[in-house]
Structure 1
Amino acid sequence: LFEYVQDYLIEKLNSWIYENVDLILHSVFNLENCKKLRDYCLEFICKDPLPFMSSEIFPLIKKEILFCLLQRDDLSIEEIIIWDYLIKWGIEQTPGLESNKAKWNEENYQALKKTLNQFIPLIQFVKISRADFFDK
């Protein structure tokens, strides 16, 4: 039954999937029976990740989903943009951080570092220019 439902969604309702990819991904990500739908959603995001990353939902996605996306080789977006949205995600995920970085202290930066620590190895910093990195 799971196979049939996944096939039906992918073949007949793919525009609905596109509109609700974040909700679907959150719902099926850890369900092994829904691997086909999960992979379809991940592939869809990877083809054009900017709409997903720039959405209001992105800072709230589960770290497991973000980790899975950043591990992929087919994420079609510049590394500096990934880094920028990862920082925004980290700020949202770190309790007590406000958006105004000018008011941050050393503890705030350490808290953000702790939140982002597992993601740092997934960023290809060699693909980011010094100027871009400094500006972000």
Structure 2
Amino acid sequence: MLQWLHLQFNRIYHKSFQNDKLQKLQEWCNNIVAKYPDKVFESSDFTILQENALVSLISQDDLQMEEVTIWNHVVEWEIAQNPGLPSDFKT
């Protein structure tokens, strides 16, 4: 079962934040992402992550990723949410 959870991690992560009653599952997911942030940040469906999931993720104190990299991903996410924004990070 645990192997299946890891294989389906992104799907579980997205679904867990669609229901506020799944807080334990959200915590479990965030603990994994804190150690392996690329599971979410580098996934092909990162930009469709719900806002509450992203906020929960970047609120983790133990996220094993450089802060500048995290913020670059947050900007990427925001641009995807608002296609009218400039896609050039320097702008």
TM-score, L = length of structure 1:
0.57
Aligned to 1:82: 70
Higher RCO (CA-CA < 8 Å; seq separation 6+): 2
User: Does residue 31 of the first structure (1) align with residue 20 of the second (2)?
Assistant: yes
Q: CA deviation at 1:25?
A: 2.0
Which consecutive residues of structure 2, in runs of 5 or more, have no partner in the other structure?
none
Aligned to 2:48: 60
What residue identity is the alignment partner of 2:20?
A: L
Distance in structure 2 (CA, Å) of the matches to 1:98 and 1:71: 26
RMSD over aligned CA atoms reads 2.0
Call closer, same or farther: CA 1:51–1:26 in 2, change over 3 Å: closer
Which structure: greater helix fraction? 1
1:36-81 superposed Cα distances (whole Å, 9 cap, x missing partner)? 2221111111111023201111111001100011111111111111
Aligned-pair identity in percent equals: 31
Contact 2:13 2:29 in 1 (8 A): yes
Which consecutive residues of structure 1, in runs of 5 or more, have no partner in the other structure?
1-12, 103-108, 110-136
Larger Rg: 1
1:37-56 to 2 correspondences below 5 Å: 37-56=25-44
Q: CA deviation at 1:28?
A: 2.2
- Aligned residue-pair number: 89
